[in-house]
Amino acid sequence: MLILLPPSETKRAGGSGAPFDPTRIALPQLAAQREAVLDALVALSADEDEAARVLKLGPRQRGEVAVNAVLRTAPTMAAIDRYTGVLFDALGAASVSAAGRRWLGAHVLVHSAPFGPVGALDPIPAYRLGASTSLPGVPPLRRLWAADVSSALADHAPRFVLDLRSEAYVGLGPVPDGIASRYVRVVSEGPDGTVRALNHFNKHAKGALVRRLAEDRPRIASAAGFVTWADAAGLRVRDIGAGELELFA
């Protein structure tokens, strides 16, 4: 099973790893696209006012321009530790066992805007870029990434993909039709049986789900296998067809 996670806007600063190498992380065939986005972000950062406008930064966020300016030389840390926010706080990778972290490294890709999908343990620098940003000097991110990410996922050839990304990041690299997958929607059920999608708890539920998977480290190769594991783990999920699963929070 391969799990696709969205990134987070918030990130930890610093790190102790060597500078980012786009060829030495998951899906190395995406190195050229990574290089193009890195070049565009570094070039944009030479003009702080323009960078703030393009990246939609407020006065208190202007320090993010300096973060992008040193992407080529900045220290790195594992992607699963770099990201913060509701999903990654619920996952709590720092407190996952060594075996659980190895499982995350083997089974989880985090889909970033500048680097494409990266492995959970792949070293990445801090950065500022969202999926919907239009960067000068490169095509729109959806056009830059989508077909090549889908092709790279096809080459990766997972038997089953659990897609926990937001729709914006799905747009940067849809799972190919030939790979069995399920897109996860987090929902709640009211007293009358009405099911509704959740917002804030959506991210928390996804992070908690991935932590539980890292703790249990099941062998899952299909949607049916995931549902069976979830039932045994005390989680409520429902395969609703059309390539989607509902996770009840």
- CA–CA distance, 184 with 205 (Å, rounded to integer): 11
CB 83 within 8 A of CB 11: yes
From first to last of its 249 residues, what are the pLDDT tens digits of the chain?
Answer: 999 999 999 999 999 999 999 999 999 999 999 999 999 999 999 999 999 999 999 999 999 999 999 999 999 999 999 999 999 999 999 999 999 999 999 999 999 999 999 999 999 999 999 999 999 999 999 999 999 999 999 999 999 999 999 999 999 999 999 999 999 999 998 888 788 887 779 999 999 999 999 999 999 999 999 999 999 999 999 999 999 999 999
Long-range contacts of 191-198 (CB under 8 A, 24+ apart): 195/246, 198/249
CA-CA distance, 38 to 58, in Å (whole number)? 22
pTM: 0.96
Closest residue by Cα to residue 230 from 113, 103, 239 = 239
Tell me the CB-side half-sphere exposure of residue 29, using CA atoms within 13 A.
12
Question: 75 lies in which domain range?
Answer: 2-248
Spatial distance between the Cα atoms of 160 and 164, rounded to a whole number of angstroms: 13
Q: Which pLDDT score, from 0 to 100, does residue 198 have?
A: 79
Q: Residue 83 corresponds to which tokens in the numbers above?
A: 């990201």
Q: How far is residue 16 from each of residues 19, 35, 45, 163, measured CA to CA in Å?
A: 9, 22, 23, 30
Q: How many Cβ atoms are within 10 Å of 16's Cβ, its own excluded? A: 8
Q: What is the CA radius of gyration of the chain?
A: 18
Q: What are phi and psi of 122, to 5 degrees?
A: -70, 140
Into how many domains does the chain fold?
A: 1
